């Protein structure tokens, strides 16, 4: 049996209202004492027991299905079923967070997305967070996308816009 101890500092962070803890166990066994400890630390414990084949990403690579679309803009293609990004047909390796950020941009084409809104959509973090977090991830995403990164437009003092209109890119 493996026991995980969570640091006390993690429970007193005032900038986060919700802490999500994912516990993956063999055969769905959950240590009830461990759940009780979470509750004592003022954490709402929600247990969802998944059967084999019900894991969130099970079968995603084999069957994208209607709930796992392919998002495209110009040379950028994000296949959510395969969790695969290609630029001009070349596969690009992204971190999980970079993939989420790209998905947010592709789902909100042409819209101004403030840093706070990006934190909410891509990090599931409500409210103001460290501005540099978004900026650093956008920079890393731009590097990996190469020339296609021109679609991520900085709106100085506000945030970013993902441009899908080639005419707008040429004019800007």
Q: What is the pLDDT of residue 5?
A: 45
Residue 111 lies in a domain: yes
Tell me how far the alpha carbon of residue 65 is from its chain's centroid. Answer: 20
Residue 79 and residue 137 in one domain: yes
Q: What is the pLDDT of residue 61?
A: 40
Range of the domain at 84: 70-171
- State residue 47 phi and psi, 5-degree precision: -110, 125
| Sequence-separated (6 or more) residues with CB below 8 Å from residue 18 | none
Residue 38 and residue 76 in one domain: no
pLDDT of 35 > 50? The answer is: yes
For all residues of the chain together, what is the average pLDDT?
Answer: 75
Residue 41 and residue 120 in one domain: no
Residue 30 and residue 90 in one domain: no
Number of separate domains in the chain? 2
Residue 158 and residue 75 in one domain: yes
Structure tokens at 109: 């084409």
Q: What is the mean pLDDT of residues 101-126?
A: 92
Residue 119 and residue 160 in one domain: yes
Residue 88 and residue 159 in one domain: yes
Residue 2 and residue 74 in one domain: no
């Amino acid at each position: 049996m493996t026991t995980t101890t969570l640091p006390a500092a993690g429970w007193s962070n005032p900038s986060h209202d919700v802490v999500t803890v994912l516990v993956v166990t063999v055969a769905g066994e959950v240590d009830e004492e461990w759940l009780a400890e979470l509750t004592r630390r003022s954490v709402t414990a929600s247990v969802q027991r998944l059967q084999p084949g019900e894991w969130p990403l099970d079968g995603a690579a084999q069957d994208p299905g209607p709930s796992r679309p392919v998002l495209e803009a110009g040379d950028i293609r994000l296949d959510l079923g395969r969790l695969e990004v290609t630029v001009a047909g070349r596969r690009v390796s992204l971190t999980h967070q970079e993939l989420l950020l790209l998905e947010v941009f592709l789902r909100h084409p042409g819209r101004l997305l403030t840093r706070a809104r990006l934190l909410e959509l891509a990090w599931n973090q409500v409210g103001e967070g460290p501005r540099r977090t978004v900026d650093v991830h956008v920079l890393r995403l731009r590097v990996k996308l190469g020339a296609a990164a021109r679609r991520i437009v900085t709106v100085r003092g506000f945030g970013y816009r993902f441009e899908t209109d080639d005419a707008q890119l040429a004019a800007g």
